[in-house]
Amino acid sequence: MNVMWDELGTRLLSPKLWRGFAPPIGGVFPLSASGSPVVGLFDDFVGFGKVAPAASNVERYCSNGITYKGYGDDTAVETYAAVPSTTPAVDANGPGVIAMQAHNTDNDISIIQAGGGTMMPFHVIPTLMKELVFECRIKVSAITASCSDIFIGLAGTLAAADSGVWVDDSASLASNDFIGFTRLATQGSALSFKYQRLLGAEGTKATVATLVADTYVKLGFRYHAARKQCSIWVNGSEVTASRIASTVTGATPWPSLYMNFCAAINYQATAAHILYTDWWACAQMV
């Protein structure tokens, strides 16, 4: 677990987004800046590794004390520790990074979910919650139309399963609670923000960011408890035009279940791309 203080605000957590939270220590957020209790996790994948062989396309991983359930239609290429970059570039990997790659058959998918697919500590239920922040740093190996769908954010229990994030050949998320960032193969380089409640239609904030091939981007969101609004952040700055109003967070399809970190890449058509995740973090005041 490597929180490098000189990288806060650059490669690591964005200070404005995380205002009020103390930085994570040893993979957890111990408290808020004012000393209030916090439930939170941070993983830079330095300790990422497989802990159980594939069985029925499911694998188990562990990283810095966090367990993950992975699903892949081809377990030979699903999720693995990538070799960190040695080039001192702006978009260089951190000391740990995971790569996710689906196989090259239509609708092949690779999914990973924290908490072993069942431990769900986070939620955005307006009647119950206080402040919540999520952020991650990712890149996609290439941006080609009609090739790969991606999702990264929070998802409800058992998302790491066949058709757990998308149903085959569907542009819609599977029936579960989701909140996070998506890029459908048909969108090209446009990245959207989506939220969905189990058995409810999904909501979308279109084109909150533009992906650049093989270039890292930091993506985050914050639920503001007092205002009951959700703000969306890209590379440490709020996308103010995409702020989600309290009238939306208080109604369907805003998520109403507990969730945990989830990432997925789904093969479509002509080329198998790779989704790299440098780190992710989520914390909630209690």
Q: What percent of the chain has pLDDT over 90?
A: 45
Split at pLDDT 50, 70, 90, the class of 223 is: very high
- pLDDT at residue number 49: 87
Query: In the predicted model, is pLDDT for residue 83 greater than 70?
Result: no
Split at pLDDT 50, 70, 90, the class of 38 is: very high
- pLDDT at residue number 30: 83
Architecture, CATH, for domain 5-285: Sandwich (2.60)
Q: Considering the chain, what is the average pLDDT of its residues?
A: 86
Split at pLDDT 50, 70, 90, the class of 133 is: very high
- Please tell me which residue, 157 or 127, carries the higher pLDDT value: 157
Give tens-digit pLDDT for 48-82: 888 887 788 888 999 988 999 998 876 655 677 76
Split at pLDDT 50, 70, 90, the class of 120 is: very high
Q: Read off the pLDDT of each residue in 187-214 and give the average, rounded to a whole number.
A: 91
Q: What percent of the chain has pLDDT over 70?
A: 88
User: What distance in Å separates the CA atoms of residue 204 and residue 202, rounded to the nearest whole number?
Assistant: 7
Q: Where are the domains of the chain?
A: 5-285
Give tens-digit pLDDT for 232-256: 999 999 999 999 999 999 999 999 9
- pLDDT at residue number 92: 67
pTM listed for this prediction:
0.92
Torsion of CA 116, 211, 195, 7, to 10 degrees: 60
Split at pLDDT 50, 70, 90, the class of 19 is: very high
- pLDDT at residue number 88: 45
- Please tell me which residue, 95 or 57, carries the higher pLDDT value: 57
Q: Read off the pLDDT of each residue in 122-144 and give the average, rounded to a whole number.
A: 89
Which residues are CB-neighbours of 170 under 8 A, at least 6 positions away? none
- pLDDT at residue number 222: 97
Split at pLDDT 50, 70, 90, the class of 23 is: confident
- Please tell me which residue, 147 or 12, carries the higher pLDDT value: 12
Across-strand partners of 25? 28
> What does each C-alpha distance from 178 to 28, 119, 161, 268 come to in angstroms?
22, 15, 14, 21
Split at pLDDT 50, 70, 90, the class of 91 is: low
- pLDDT at residue number 50: 87
Query: In the predicted model, is pLDDT for residue 128 greater than 90?
Result: no
Beta strands per DSSP E along the chain: 38-43, 49-55, 58-63, 66-72, 79-81, 98-101, 109-114, 132-140, 148-155, 178-183, 190-196, 203-210, 217-224, 229-234, 237-238, 260-267, 274-285
Q: Read off the pLDDT of each residue in 84-96 and give the average, rounded to a whole number.
A: 59
